[in-house]
């Protein structure tokens, strides 16, 4: 499945013209997510050893929000070109946030010699075996401090990736191992 993210109308980019995401899922609770930015002057955090880290959205970061149609709870995953990642579970809209246990940590790959592409191998073993709805997002920082916010859909008002009205991607259910 290929998706094209839209910039939030209140945040403009100086040089990014598009953000695309391609998702491939398999029968082993595994999702491959490929993010691609077309543009220049993007701030790319320095590579570091992979581990969980909070606050990744303060610079260029890619995100995936997942929920089920019949529940207010949802999950947020953050992926940085630095190879750092984060996973959270929320009980409701921006409430009850806690770190989401990941039996298998996400694998984030970024090759600075290629165009701005980031690949994530995400194991969803810890997710409920149900149909999923989601939002794919990106926070893009450019040289000079400009930030733009990209998503499949945006609610009225300021950027808000947590708003369930933005969970417009319908993804296949997670298979149990």
pLDDT tens per residue across span 120-148 = 999 988 887 778 899 999 999 999 999 99
Tens digits of residue pLDDT in 150-170: 999 999 999 999 999 999 998
What whole-number percentage of the chain has pLDDT above 90?
77
Q: Do 134 and 67 meet the contact criterion of CB atoms below 8 Å apart? A: yes
Per-residue pLDDT reduced to its tens digit, 38-74: 998 999 999 999 999 999 999 999 999 999 888 999 9
The third-level CATH classification (topology) of the domain covering 2-171 is Immunoglobulin-like (2.60.40)
Question: What is residue 132's predicted lDDT score, i.e. its pLDDT?
Answer: 87
Confidence of residue 79 (pLDDT cuts 50, 70, 90): very high
Cβ proximity of 73 and 90 under 8 Å: yes
SS3 per residue for 82-105: CCCEEEEEECECCECCEECCCCCC
pLDDT of 176 above 60: no
Show me where the domains of the chain are located: 2-171
Beta strands in 26-168 (DSSP E): 30-38, 61-67, 74-79, 85-90, 98-99, 107-110, 117-123, 132-141, 147-151
Task: State how far the Cα of 56 lies from the Cα of 47, in Å rounded to an integer.
Answer: 13
Matching residue, tokens 């953050």: 78
């Amino acid at each position: 499945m290929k998706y094209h993210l839209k910039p939030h109308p209140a945040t403009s980019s100086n040089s990014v013209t598009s953000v695309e995401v391609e998702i491939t899922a398999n029968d082993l609770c595994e999702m491959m997510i490929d993010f691609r930015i077309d543009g220049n002057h993007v701030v790319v955090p320095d590579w570091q050893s992979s581990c969980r880290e909070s606050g990744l959205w303060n610079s260029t970061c890619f995100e995936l929000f997942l929920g089920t149609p019949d529940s207010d709870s949802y999950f947020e995953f953050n992926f940085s070109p630095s190879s750092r990642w984060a996973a959270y579970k929320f009980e409701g809209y921006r409430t009850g946030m806690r770190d989401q246990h990941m039996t298998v940590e996400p694998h984030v790959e970024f090759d600075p010699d290629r165009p701005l592409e980031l690949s994530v191998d995400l194991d969803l073993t810890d997710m409920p075996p149900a149909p999923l709805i989601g939002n794919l997002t990106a926070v893009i920082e450019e040289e000079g401090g400009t930030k733009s916010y990209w998503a499949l859909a945006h609610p009225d008002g300021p950027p808000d990736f947590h708003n369930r009205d933005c969970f417009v991607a319908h993804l296949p259910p997670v298979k149990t191992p």
